[in-house]
A and B are shown apart, each in its own frame.
Chain A
Amino acid sequence: MTTATQHNAAAPQEPALARTVVVSWKAPIAFGVITVLAAILFLVAGQGGEAVFRISAAGDALQLPEIVLDATVVAWTSTILLLAITVASALLVRSERKVPVWLMAVFAVVFLIGFLTWAAAGARTNVIPVAGLLAGALSLSVPLIFGSLSGVISERVGVINIAIEGQLLAGAFTSAVVATATGNPYAGLLAAGVAGVLVSFVLAAFAIKYFVDQVIVGVVLNVLVLGLTSFFFSQVLAPNATTLNSPPRFERIPIPILSEIPLIGPTFFRQTIIVYLMYVAVAAVYIGLFHTKWGLRLRAVGEHPQAADTVGINVTGTRFWNVSLAGAIAGLGGAFFTLGSVGAFNKEMTAGAGFIALAAVIFGQWDPIKATLAALLFGFASNLQNTLGVIGSPVPSEFMLMLPYVVTIFAVAGLVGKVRGPAAAGKPYIKA
């Protein structure tokens, strides 16, 4: 009886509550800007012609036919589709509903197809090797993904990790030296993890024991590792390149059956051991963070250390060991630079990948899966530029290089907006 009356009393208020849904015009505006850009690019600067998408690689068991698209048709179709999505999102927002994520994904895919067709049609050779494009994108993303996982763990436990760049670089340096000295790339991989942990130890010791500002320690550690590796590279590695800096590289290991699936196989299942390790790491970090006791404690320490301490969690210890774990993961990512791709260490070879990983952490809202997707986006964009550079693109290559970063700015400003990190990240915990 009483519940019924309460329900009746509350019923008239429901519409009032529903009306307070926060709507944002950011997504339609971002869509609109990109659509206008696309229209200018595809329709005004397009030259017609054909674009060929080669789905299957040369050695595949199952050969799929090439897809040939007419540039003019695709230009008009994609522009109209983009416009339609923009209008649809504007209507959604006007009727006070949110723009769903799948609509954003469709928008991105349509834009990408339009862009690729446009770029390929205006190029010297109009064939886009889709499998190669995706496989290359994945391998460029590997260090970024390891780095962003490191950032996610570290910041979730309450320690801002700007030192990802340093951890990657330390991993790259150590793995090159150890793998060369032992002749075993697996030893190098292990050493890379240890090097990442060592960098993290410094970060953890200064941030947790001495309460130094975590941003300061992170930035300084990047400089320190850069200085150390460059110094030893010039002094020791460069003169003794054969004995210290020519590590064996990991072989590509095709996984039986899976690697024969068209498009997916060559992309995901004909990679090196580091890439497979990355799949495991992403899954482990996701499950660990959100479905285990370890993850719950970790997040509690990062969100509200006092509360965690009150229920008996050792805040300092949790932070210390998880920051170390984060360092190990980033170190493995560093090994990819030497053992997975290039083969020898070089000065500053990470070239800002740690900062891109940091951006992926924030872009991915401190979530391992979303951060991985953000890192994949960066990797894809860099490889897209490589591919278009090979086939010869109609616009100056610098603008191709710029594109991923411009898209990120639009995405961060228009679609993601204000993000909120773990509440206690950056604040040292001083036990009263």
Chain B
Amino acid sequence: MSAQGPSDPDVAVETGSQVPPAEPVRRAEPEPEPESRWHRALREVATGNAIISVLAVVLALIVGAIMIAFTDERVQAASGYFFARPGDTFVAIWESVSGAYSAFFQGSIYNFRRPDFAAGIRPLTETLTFATPLIAAGLGVALAFRVGMFNIGGRGQMLMASAAAGWVAFSFDLPFGVHMFVALLAGLLAGALWAGIAGLLKARTGAHEVIVTIMLNYVALYLVTWMLRTPGLLQAPGSNNPKTPPMKDTAIFPAILGDGYNLHFGFLLAIASVVLVWWILDRSSLGFQFRAVGENPNAARVAGINVKAMYVYAMLISGALIGLAGVSQVLGTVTTGFSSGIDAGIGFDAITVALLGRSTPWGVLAAGILFGAFKAGGFAMQAAEGVPIDIVLVVQSLIVLFIAAPPLVRAIFRLPAPGSASRRPRPNVTKEVEPK
């Protein structure tokens, strides 16, 4: 590039190719232009990233099937006389596994036993309902990851957001719409401030955000537990249970598919958040600074970025997103009043969602929907076949592990590695010429 002389160095840098200086820059499409999104997507499918993902899911489901089969009582009974009638064992394995997985499918995607499409598709809307807080909280964790921070404080942030939004939602009388908006805002603010403490402490004193967010989880849990059992704060009047009164109708998220479905307005908010986070990270100057700090805080500081401010902003936004998960729980999913278990482990699930989504907004959307399906299907499987829902955790974590290690999946399925033309001569060399 430096060989081109003083004619126009900027152009050369921009195209990154050996364009002769005399030629105009925008010629009829030279080949080294950055490839389009479709090209990249096609290439990724071709080199096997999509295949790896599918195979990872398949592998995880196989492990799940083995676990279901081995702990099934019918299988155990039939295997007692395996050598007398081996067929019985295989039939029992098939029945237990297929029963569990068909219950899983019918609980998460489409129920064939319902007469019409409107009722049959209901499980899919359940999946999206379960996915809503996972997407929102996953976005929060992912955004913090991109700035190089690990926000384990999802539980505390969700609890604070739920408490704030719930308090506004059941104790104020406001017109429809305004009430919902104020409650939503209160929840987002509470989540943002709770996470902001960790960001501020990291920026001002260097306190490690992992410690602070873990500690804030417990502080929030006990604070909310205390408020829930104290009359006049969050406890329902005239009750001794640590539970709030039901939310007022004016504050509840409307059902977006009609009253027959649980899917609520929160899902649209979660989708909007995906777009917003994508815009922040990929299109805004703030997002550029976020990513720069995440890649290398020292380089970012040298480049003039206010690293400490980025930590605070990132935690505020992250907390607000996780707060949205809490708000969607209290205003959308559990509107009859909540207790201290309102976070339902979503704060920790969100970490897995963010990891599976590779900390990108669209990846988080897909991972959130997948995990929502696992939750919806898991409950159906537990109800129909008696398989504990904990197996969902196993399958989920195996999927993330397998997707994170493509060489392992390739080795299991004996797939060729991308660009591994030089694979063949290797065995001949290594065995014979052993140094030392």
Q: Which residues of A contact B (CB under 8 A)?
A: 26, 202, 206, 210, 212-213, 215-217, 219-221, 223-224, 226-228, 230-232, 234-236, 347, 352, 355-356, 358-359, 362-363, 396, 398-399, 401-402, 405-406, 408-409, 412-414, 416-419
Contact = CB atoms under 8 A, between A and B. Distances in A.
Interface stretch (B42-50, B210-218, B413-421): B210-218
Interface string B293-337: 000000000000000000000000000000000000000000000
A235 B394 CA distance: 14
A326 B50 CA distance: 35
B388 A234 contact: yes
B55 interface: no
Interface string B42-77: 000000000000000000000000010001000000
Interface in B212-266: 212, 214-216, 218-219, 222-223, 225-226, 230
Contacts, number: 136
A398 B211 contact: no
Nearest to B71: A235
A85 B401 CA distance: 51
Contacts of B401: 202, 206, 212, 217, 220-221, 224
B206 interface: yes
A232 B71 contact: yes
Interface of B: 67, 71, 150, 152, 201, 204-208, 210-212, 214-216, 218-219, 222-223, 225-226, 230, 348, 351-352, 355, 388, 390-398, 400-401, 404-405, 407-408
B394 A414 contact: no
6 A-B pairs closest in CB distance = A418-B206, A227-B393, A230-B390, A398-B226, A227-B394, A224-B397
A216 B400 contact: yes
B77 to A, nearest CB: 14
Given A234-B388, A356-B214, A358-B214, A220 B394 contact: no
A206 B400 CA distance: 12
A408 B390 contact: no
A409 B215 contact: yes
Given A227-B394, A402-B219, A216 B404 contact: yes
Contact of B355 (A219, A362, A408): A219
A210 B405 contact: yes
A355 B152 contact: yes
A117 B202 CA distance: 34
Given A206-B401, A221-B397, A405-B219, A413 B214 contact: no
A216 B393 contact: no
A206 B405 contact: yes
A226 B392 CA distance: 11
Contact of B205 (A217, A362, A408, A414): A414
A112 to B, nearest CB: 19
Contact of A419 (B206, B222, B223, B348): B206
Q: Which among B210, B348, B401 has the highest number of chain A CB atoms within 10 Å?
A: B401
B408 A210 contact: yes
Contact of A223 (B205, B396, B404): B396
Nearest to B226: A398
Given A409-B201, A409-B212, A417 B207 contact: yes
B212 to A, nearest CB: 6
12 contacts: A206-B401, A215-B150, A220-B401, A221-B401, A224-B397, A227-B392, A228-B390, A398-B222, A409-B211, A412-B211, A413-B204, A417-B205
A402 B217 CA distance: 10
A219 B226 contact: no
Given A224-B398, A398-B226, A219 B404 contact: no
Contacts of B351: 219
A236 B212 CA distance: 38
A413 B201 contact: yes
B150 A362 contact: no
Q: Which among B211, B223, B230, B392 has the highest number of chain A CB atoms within 10 Å?
A: B211
Nearest to A30: B205
Contacts of A362: 208, 210-211
Contacts of B212: 409, 412-413
Contacts of A202: 401
